[in-house]
A and B are shown apart, each in its own frame.
Chain A
């Protein structure tokens, strides 16, 4: 793989299951050493795309390349440079961690002392060396996930595809996984990671790719995405002393203000202007109308909200309404 060759290159990829198009003309690239987050709702086509990249499925049309090798035409070359961590992982029964890793080391062609060194390396890297004698199928979810990563790293792959690696992990295991991913990225490996925990992906990844119904929605950094969302409209939470008045009437009269949600002691509004002057003007109006304002702060959009908003736009609907915080009174 030369430096100019993209580590992952997907072009017009299509894969249908019956009448359902799981992947629909998807195109994106990942450069060598890049960490890319792959985001989409359930059934968006993430796993199908990743399985095609891992040579486990074939596209109906389009191409997918890993290190310049077409996954359909050169699967063996692709497998030599690719590590795959599936979303669901089951370890074999009656095998210890060391025996499990030993089996996959043999399956990747390692022999003799080299195999032993390699096993020690990856067990040490993933922190499983102390658990080497434990039965592989009797470990915690976090340890099992580390074992899966350990297996994927055995043949020293330059590209790693991780499908929902953090799913079901406790906070500590998640932090450990994040650290491992960071080390692998610093080591110059390309990682394509799908996850539902978008805030974590934002921290880990150089770039985020959003897909829906098998199509690309967004391809860029987390900062770009948030900036784009922020420049659209700003959310402000306004809280008043209960009984000092209803802010809704005042707010409705302000230009560029749209009420989004009624809070217990205030309101969440959306502004088309996020300049300090506009915010100061709004606050002045509220105080001037006799309301006892106790809280006035802007809300930063997070990746989850941005993702939901993006899905809403892609599906042709307006921004998804937040869930109501109050239960309607009984009639």
Chain B
């Protein structure tokens, strides 16, 4: 190939330490009209607020006004603008056909997704950085608790990281319903986050008690929240990677292992880290159920909706590590192993709750959530043709879930009206059982939810076994490949320049 005689205008150099995807996303993202408008608008509004606070009021009142303005603007930038920018991240690559060009490079799906996420986080950090002069200005007006504000900034940044990861992870699905749900979810989070920040910044708030003895009550919640946010964000980001991955990539095993470890950590925190004399009493229990669900739901969703088949290549690491058949069955990617994984993790959760002598309500609630996820899987499997039985159909799963939810709500309303507020059948279906929680008999709900779980299991487990038998064929091929590798490791036909270090 001829070499160019005239030097071309090469792009401004960016460090090789930054990943290719990050470099590309930063170059693209920082030039988009949305970012430029949001960035300039953010600065302009803050500047306007500073001027307004000095002109109209004075002293600590103007300080509070400016404080509120900065926090509201930051929440909007980090919780709304940044995640929304990631809403089309993967779908755009799929739709335009550029994803295939990436797949034939050395980039794997995780590198692609992670690069997009880090780039958006870079933009979020820019918003944070440019707000610092305003925080400094606010400091000179007095009445600022530095530790509180720093702690809150860190928490807000973590929340933004997790939320953006979740949105990017879900951006690979081409469901309009999901898009609307995500947008509504983000919209709902804004007032929640603002009031959450206001609560934490109050004189009795969490960060102002750091130096007091009540910190012993708070730290498990903080740790639980950090674990839940990280795991939920990471699991959904991995789910996004899975939606764009080739059959030779495994993005499931890591999520399963992390979910197991995080669930164990949350249970341990709940059991052993909370002071029995805590002033918060049962509130801790509710908060830890919320954290557990933040970890449990993405993990279970990922396992149930996993691809049915993968390339033989992904089984090689399992063969190399000499995992036991049971270990392989649980950690292999694929929805069939996912069903067994769901069974294991849920049994562990229920077992632990029973072991710690918790109330029936906790167990019923866990069953309801499990059935909410498993019943649509069972129904959608039943609706599939025999030919499709080994294949994933995520869309049909989500549609079935929405259909069952609507049917449950209709059932509950009808039954409540017919029985004059004394429904019974509603206890069988997860969503109607949840809505009619106060009206339904506790023992009956528990029993019917167990029945619902058994029905789902009766449908799913035989198909999972059938699917396993099919996977065994791939496993044999993988073993053959592995043995071939051991006998004669194939060398790269043309060593890549990077590998030769030239």
- Comparing B6-14, B355-363, B410-418, the segment that makes contact with chain A is B6-14
B23 in contact with A106 (CB, 8 Å): yes
Q: What's the minimum C-beta distance from A114 to chain B, rounded to whole angstroms?
A: 6
Question: Which chain A residues lie closer than 8 Å to B31 at the CB level?
Answer: 94
Q: What's the minimum C-beta distance from A167 to chain B, rounded to whole angstroms?
A: 14
Give the residues from 256 to 297 in chain A that come closer than 8 angstroms, CB to CB, to chain B. Answer: none
A90 in contact with B24 (CB, 8 Å): no
Select the residue from A54, A86, A103 with max chain B CB neighbours within 10 A: A103
A155 in contact with B8 (CB, 8 Å): no
Number of residues from B at the complex interface, CB < 8 A: 48
Give the residues from 449 to 480 in chain B that come closer than 8 angstroms, CB to CB, to chain A. Answer: none
A119 in contact with B247 (CB, 8 Å): no
Question: Which chain A residues lie closer than 8 Å to B499 at the CB level?
Answer: 109
A94 in contact with B27 (CB, 8 Å): yes
Pick from A54, A112, A119, A187: contact of B8, CB under 8 Å: A119
Q: What's the minimum C-beta distance from A259 to chain B, rounded to whole angstroms?
A: 49
A133 in contact with B9 (CB, 8 Å): yes
A67 in contact with B97 (CB, 8 Å): no
| 25 A-B contact pairs sorted by A residue (CB < 8 Å) | A1-B493, A55-B103, A55-B246, A69-B490, A73-B313, A73-B481, A75-B248, A75-B311, A76-B106, A77-B492, A80-B493, A86-B100, A90-B96, A90-B98, A92-B28, A94-B31, A103-B27, A106-B16, A112-B16, A124-B2, A129-B4, A129-B8, A130-B8, A156-B1, A183-B2
A123 to B7, CA, bound (A): 10
Check if A299 is an interface residue, CB within 8 A of chain B.
no
A151 to B102, CA, bound (A): 11
Check if A219 is an interface residue, CB within 8 A of chain B.
no
Which positions in B face A, CB cutoff 8 Å?
1-11, 16, 19-21, 23-24, 27-28, 31-32, 96-98, 100-107, 246-248, 311-313, 481, 490, 492-494, 496-499, 502
Which positions in A face B, CB cutoff 8 Å?
1, 54-56, 58, 67-69, 72-77, 79-82, 84, 86, 88-90, 92-96, 98-99, 102-104, 106-112, 114, 116, 119-125, 128-130, 132-133, 151, 153, 155-156, 158, 183, 187
A75 to B247, CA, bound (A): 10
A98 in contact with B97 (CB, 8 Å): no
B3 in contact with A86 (CB, 8 Å): no
A110 to B23, CA, bound (A): 14
Pick from B24, B97, B492, B502: contact of A95, CB under 8 Å: B24
Question: Which chain B residues lie closer than 8 Å to A133 at the CB level?
Answer: 9
Q: What's the minimum C-beta distance from A328 to chain B, rounded to whole angstroms?
A: 46
Q: What's the minimum C-beta distance from B250 to chain A, rounded to whole angstroms?
A: 14
Question: Which chain A residues lie closer than 8 Å to B6 at the CB level?
Answer: 124, 129-130
With A79-B104, A120-B4: A114-B497 Cβ-Cβ less than 8 Å: yes
A83 to B287, CA, bound (A): 53
B24 in contact with A124 (CB, 8 Å): no
With A124-B3, A124-B8: A110-B497 Cβ-Cβ less than 8 Å: yes
B107 in contact with A107 (CB, 8 Å): yes
Question: Which chain A residues lie closer than 8 Å to B21 at the CB level?
Answer: 107
A121 in contact with B105 (CB, 8 Å): no
Q: What's the minimum C-beta distance from B274 to chain A, rounded to whole angstroms?
A: 48
A81 in contact with B97 (CB, 8 Å): no
A94 to B179, CA, bound (A): 25
A73 in contact with B312 (CB, 8 Å): yes
Pick from B7, B8, B311, B490: contact of A77, CB under 8 Å: B490
- Given contacts A86-B101, A93-B32, could you give 16 more A-B pairs where the C-beta distance is less than 8 Å? A58-B311, A69-B493, A72-B312, A77-B490, A80-B492, A90-B98, A93-B28, A94-B27, A103-B24, A106-B20, A109-B106, A109-B498, A124-B5, A132-B8, A158-B493, A187-B1
A186 to B267, CA, bound (A): 67
A125 in contact with B1 (CB, 8 Å): yes
A72 in contact with B311 (CB, 8 Å): yes
Nearest B residue to A137, CB-CB: B96
Nearest A residue to B13, CB-CB: A116
Q: What's the minimum C-beta distance from B197 to chain A, rounded to whole angstroms?
A: 34
Pick from B11, B98, B104: contact of A92, CB under 8 Å: B98
A108 to B502, CA, bound (A): 15
A74 in contact with B10 (CB, 8 Å): no
Question: Which chain A residues lie closer than 8 Å to B7 at the CB level?
Answer: 120, 129
With A94-B31, A95-B28: A79-B1 Cβ-Cβ less than 8 Å: no
With A90-B97, A92-B24, A129-B4: A82-B11 Cβ-Cβ less than 8 Å: no
A84 to B104, CA, bound (A): 8
Question: Which chain B residues lie closer than 8 Å to A93 at the CB level?
Answer: 28, 32
With A1-B493, A77-B490: A88-B97 Cβ-Cβ less than 8 Å: yes
Question: Which chain A residues lie closer than 8 Å to B27 at the CB level?
Answer: 94-95, 99, 103
Question: Which chain B residues lie closer than 8 Å to A1 at the CB level?
Answer: 493-494
A56 in contact with B11 (CB, 8 Å): no
Question: Which chain A residues lie closer than 8 Å to B28 at the CB level?
Answer: 92-95
A55 to B27, CA, bound (A): 29
Question: Which chain A residues lie closer than 8 Å to B248 at the CB level?
Answer: 75
A3 to B204, CA, bound (A): 78
Question: Which chain A residues lie closer than 8 Å to B23 at the CB level?
Answer: 102-103, 106
Nearest B residue to A72, CB-CB: B311
Pick from B16, B32, B498: contact of A94, CB under 8 Å: B32
A125 in contact with B24 (CB, 8 Å): no
A98 in contact with B8 (CB, 8 Å): yes
Q: What's the minimum C-beta distance from B86 to chain A, rounded to whole angstroms?
A: 16
With A56-B104, A94-B32: A121-B96 Cβ-Cβ less than 8 Å: no
Q: What's the minimum C-beta distance from A7 to chain B, rounded to whole angstroms?
A: 11
- Nearest 6 A/B pairs, CB to CB: A124-B4, A106-B20, A107-B105, A129-B8, A109-B498, A90-B96
A313 to B160, CA, bound (A): 64
Nearest B residue to A77, CB-CB: B492
Nearest B residue to A154, CB-CB: B105
Question: Which chain B residues lie closer than 8 Å to A98 at the CB level?
Answer: 8-11
Question: Which chain A residues lie closer than 8 Å to B490 at the CB level?
Answer: 69, 74, 77
Q: What's the minimum C-beta distance from B356 to chain A, rounded to whole angstroms?
A: 47
Pick from A72, A114, A124: contact of B502, CB under 8 Å: A114
Question: Which chain A residues lie closer than 8 Å to B107 at the CB level?
Answer: 107
Question: Which chain A residues lie closer than 8 Å to B493 at the CB level?
Answer: 1, 67-69, 77, 80-81, 158
